[in-house]
Structure 1
Amino acid sequence: MTNLVNAEKISKSFGIAPLLESVSLGVQEGQRIGVVGLNGGGKTTMLEILAGITEPDSGRVSRVGGLRMAVVTQRGVLPPGATVGDVVLGPLDIPEHEWASDVRVRAVLAGIGIDRLDGGLERSVEELSGGQRRRVALAAALVQDLDLLILDEPTNHLDVEGVQWLADHVVNRRSALVVVTHDRWFLDTVATRTWEVAHGSVTEYEGGYNDWIYARAERGRLADAAEERRRNLARKELAWLRRGPPARTSKPKYRIEAAEKLIADVPPVRDSVALSSFAKRRLGRVVIELEDATLRTPDDRVLVEDLTWRLQPGERIGLVGINGSGKTTLLRALAGEVPVDPGRRKEGTTVSIGWLRQELDDLPTDMRVLEAVEDVAGRITIGAGTKQEKEISAGQLAERLGFSPARQRTPVGDLSGGERRRLQLTRVLMAQPNVLLLDEPTNDLDIDTLQQLEDILDGWAGTMVVISHDRYLIERICDSTWALFGDGGLTNLPGGIESYLQRRARQGDNSTPVSSVAGRADGAVAAPVRDAGAERDAQKAMKRLERQIAKFDTRETELHALLAASATDSQRLRELDAELTAVVAEKETAEVEWMELAEEWG
C-alpha cells in the first residue's frame, strides 16, 4: 500500500514538557486510524503536524505527490462573509444541477444535518453557532473525493443518529482516515488501528477500541517495568514466607498449593553463601570487635557490661529489646561514636561503615534530591558476586525508594519528614558501605518502599546490624537475632523473635502481649466441642470445593494462554474474556464457601 504521509523523528514542545519527542509514524492508503490519549497530551498537535498546519520543532514530514487531503480541526474557522453553500460545495467547483443530482453529496448534507439549517445553503456562516460551524466544516470535507481525511473530534455536536451515519460513511468510503475521538463506540466501529499518544511518544495498536483495551492491558503487563518489579517482589516475598517456619502462615490448603506452584521457579531470597564469600573478600578477617566492653547511660546506669562481641563478614543481625535497653547506644559503640569503658573496640582496616541514624541532621538542605544522592555516588552495584549482580544509577535507586523523577528535582529543604528519611537511607546505600548499621529503617516508609528496600538488601554483600520494632523486617532480612534484656548482657536467640517474646513473657513484662505467647506455648486454649457428623460433612464439602477450585484454576490458566494466542482475533478475544470472567466469578464463590467452612470447621 502507498504511504500517504510519513513522519520521521518529529518533536514538538510548548513550554518545558515535550508533547511529542522523536516520534516516527506513517499513514498508509486505506487505513483508518483512531487517536486516543489524555487531554493536553499532544493528539491535536500531532494531527496538525501531519496535516501541515503546524511545523514540528525538529524532524521531517513528507507527503505523497498529489495527495488529496481535508482537515477538520476543533478551531471551527470558516471564511468570513461566506455562505454555508460556499463552504460546503465550493471545493467541488461544479454547477448546482450536478451536485444536486449526486447521491453522495446529498447524503452528506442530510447525514450531517446541513439540509435542516434555517436558511439552508444560503445562510451566512457568521450567523452560525460553534457547533453548526463544526458541522459545516465536516460536511465540506466529506463531500470531496479524497485520499486522506484528518478529523479532530468529529462526533462533537452530532446526535446519536449523526454519529451512526458518520461511522457508516467513513467505513464505506475509500479514503484513509486519521481521527481523534473520545467516542468509544465510534472508535471501535471505524478504526482498524489505534494510536495512543502519551508522555511524548505514540504507541500503535491493531484494531479499534476493544482491541486496544485488550492489547494495551497485555502490553502493559509485559512492558511496565515498575509493575513487573512489584509482582516479582510479591512472588519473592511469598517464596520467603512459604520456605520459612510453618508458624508464619495459616493459609488454607488450596492457597498453599497454589502458592507452591506460583513460586516454583523463584530462587531463594538471597544467595547467602555467595554474599558471605564476597563479604569476606571485601572485609577480611576482622570487621568490628568489642572486647570486655561496658556501656553506660549519661546518668551512669550500666546498659552492657563485660561484653565481647565480634561481628563476622557477611553477618546479618537483628537487634531487639525494649525501649531504653541500650540498642542505639550499642549501635553507636559499633560505629565508634561512644566510648567503651572499660574495654576496647577494634575495627578492620577495610571497613567502610554506613550508618542510618534516627536523627535527620546529616542531610545537605542546600541541594536538590538527586544532587544529594549523586553527591555520594553516581552508580552502585547490587548483588555483587552473585548471579543477580547489576548496576543501577543514583536516580534509579532514588526512584526505587519512592522518589519519582519529578520529585528528584525537589530541594531537600522542602521534603517532608518521611521523604527526608528515605533520602537519608538512599544516601547511605549509595556509599556502598561494607558494614551497615540501621537504626529503625522502617520509620516513615510505606509498604511498597519497604519491599523495595528489602529487595535491595537481599543483594547487599556485607555485615549488617539492624535495630527495628518491625518483626517482619527482622525476620525478612536478618539471619540471626540478638537481644538486650536489661540484664547487662547481649543474648543470641536461635529461635528469633518468637524466642524473644517467650523470654519476655517469662520475665513478666506487662508491656508485652504475654497471654497470646503463653497461650500458644502452654496449650491453654481449649478447643470447642464439635458435632462429629457435622464435622465430617463439612470436611467432605471442603474437599469437594478444593477440587472445584483446582479445576477453575486450571481453566483460568488455559484461558490466559488462549487469550495471548488470540491477540489478533477480536471476536475470539471477546468470547474468551467472557468465559474467563465467568470462571473467575465461580472460583471466587467457591473460595468464599471454602473459607466459611474453614472458619467454622478448619
Structure 2
Amino acid sequence: MNYLSAENLTKSYGDRMLFRNLTFGINRGDKVAIVGANGSGKTTLLSILAGAMPPDSGIVSHRKDITIGYLDQQPDLNDAMTVMEVVLAGESAQLDAVRAYEHALLHDDHAALESAMSDMEKLEAWDYEAQIRQILGELGIQDVEQRIGSLSGGQRKRVALARVLIQSPDLLILDEPTNHLDLEAIEYLESFLNTNNGTLLMVSHDRYFLDRVCNQIAEMDNGQLYTYKGNYAYFLEKKDEREMAAASELAKDRNTFRRELEWMRRQPKARGTKAQYRIDAFDELKEKTSGKRSDGELDLNLRTSRLGSKILEVENLSKRFGDKILLDHFNYTFQRMDRVGLIGKNGMGKTTLMNMMTGQIRPDSGKITAGGTVKFGYYTQTELDLPETQRVIDVVQDVAEVMKLANGDTITASQLLSRFLFDRSKQYDYVAKLSGGEKRRLQLLLVLVQNPNFLILDEPTNDLDITTLNVLEDFLLNFSGCVLIVTHDRYFMDRLVDHVFVMEGAGKVRDYPGNYTDYREWRDSQPKNTSQNAKAALASKNQPVTPEVSVSPTTIPMPVVEAKKKLSFKEIKEYETLEKEIESLEQRKTVVIGLLDTGGHHEQLTAWAREIEEIDQAITKKSDRWLELADYI
C-alpha cells in the first residue's frame, strides 16, 4: 500500500541545482533513511515530502486516510506554552479525547463530559498523560510544566520529538532525530521505532541507528536518489558495486565521446549538414562525461604540535550548581595517546567538565594543571559566531593564510579549504549560504588548523555526513595527541576510545577500560540492586554495614588481562613487510583506476574493475593483519 509518492521533483537555490526530476515512493511498513553528503539536499527533500516546502516543479501525493508526523531540524514551538501544553497540542484521536475531557471539566458541561469519557474509554486514553510523561522522561525532559522559552535548542527538539511520537502517526518523518539526544535516549528511540509498526522516513548519519532501524536506504548523490532495499551494512556493499559499475560506464562513455568529438570536428561546420540525431547524442554524451562530482575525499593531513611528558593532571576536582553536584573530588592524570569517551545523561556535567579543562569555567575546588606543551583544540556544540556576510575563505585567512602539513609542506588557505571539500566557488560563498553540515565542517577546520595536540570534541558528529565522519575517524586514529570525546554516535565512539568516563550522577565518575559497547555489556550484565543485596548478605552475618563512599573515578571489577604478547622475529619482519605491501597495492590501485579513465575494450575494462576489487580485498586483509600485529609493537 503506497503512503507517499513523489514524481519529477526539482528544486534549486539560485544557480545551484539540488535535484532535478527526482521520483520517489514509500509503502506501508517501509523504514527509509535518506543519507548523503552535506549540502546534497536531504533536508530540503524531506521538507518537500512532508509538505513544509513546495518544490520548484513536480508533485508529492500522500494517501488521504493516513496521518503524518514531521520533526523539523529547527522545530517552531510557542515559547509561552509549557512542555505538556505543546505535546498535547499535537494531532491524534487520543489527544482530541483528552482535550475534550479537559474542556468539559473546565466548563462543567455534563453532556460533553459524558461523551468525552466514553471516547476516552473507547480510545484507551485514560493513561495517556502518563505515557506522555514516560516518553518525555526517556528523552530527558522531566519538568513538564516549564515554559518552552526557557529550554535550550536541544531540549526544544526533544519536546518536538516527543510530540510527534505520542501522536503515533501512520507515517513518521524525522530530520536528524538522534541529534541532541544522549546515548540512553537514542537507544530508547531505537527500541521505540523497532517495536512500532508504523512507516518511517528520516535523515540520519548515526550508523548504528541506521543499521538497526531501517530496512531501506536512499542515497542523495549528485542530484540523484539511489534506493537500496536493506539496512545500512547492505547499502554499503551495494553502493560499492554501483560505484564500480559507474566508473566502468564512465570510462566507456569517455571513450565514445572522444570518437564522437573526432567525428564532429571532421564534419562541415554548418551543423545542418550533419545527422541531427548524432549531434543530439553527442551533446548529451558531452554533458554526461563532463559533469563534475562533488564527493571528493576530505583530507585532514595537518601537523600536530609535539606533546611533552607532562600532559594534564586533574586533582580533587569538584563542581556544583545549586544543590546539584556535578563532580565530587574527581582525579585523573592524562597519559600520552589517551583516547577517552565521556558519557552520561544530559545535564550530568559533561560539557562543564570540558569547559573547566579548557579554563572557561572555574571549579569550586581542586585544580587542573596542564603541561607547558599542551595546546587544546576545543570543538564545541555551539556553532561559531561568524558574520553571515563574511566569505568562507576570509574566515580561514583570519586564522592563518598558510598552514603546515604533517609532512612539512605548506599550503594556502584556499588549498586547505579544497581539502575540506569546499570547492573554489564555495570558498567565495557567504557563510549565510552554507548548510548546517558545511558550517560544522568549517568549524572543524578552524579547530584543526591551529595544530592542537589535545583535542576536546563535544558532539563532533552532529550534522556531519558519513563520508566526513569516516575521514575524521581515520584522522583521530592516527592523531598523535590526546583525545576526549563526547558524542551520541556509538559507532564513532566505539571505533576511537580505549576507555570511558561514565558520569553517573551525584558527582561520581566511573573510569571503565573499554569502549562504549564494552561498558554497556558490562553494565547490563550486572545484577540489579547490587548494593542492597550486599548489605543484606552482610546483615545476615551480623556484620556492620560499611557506608557507601563517593570515590571518583569509581573502582570497578577489572577484566583479567593477559601479559602483553611479544612479537617473534618472524612476526616483526612480517609487520614491516605488510606496510610495504599495502603501500604497493595502493599504488597499483591508483594505476589501474587511471587505466579505467583512459578507456579501452570491454574485456579490458572488466578485467581492470575485477583487479581493483581484488586489490581492495587484499588491502583489507593485509591491513587487518597489520593492525593485529601493531597491537603488540
- The normalised TM-score by structure 2 is 0.39
Q: Over alpha carbons, which structure has the higher Rg?
A: 1
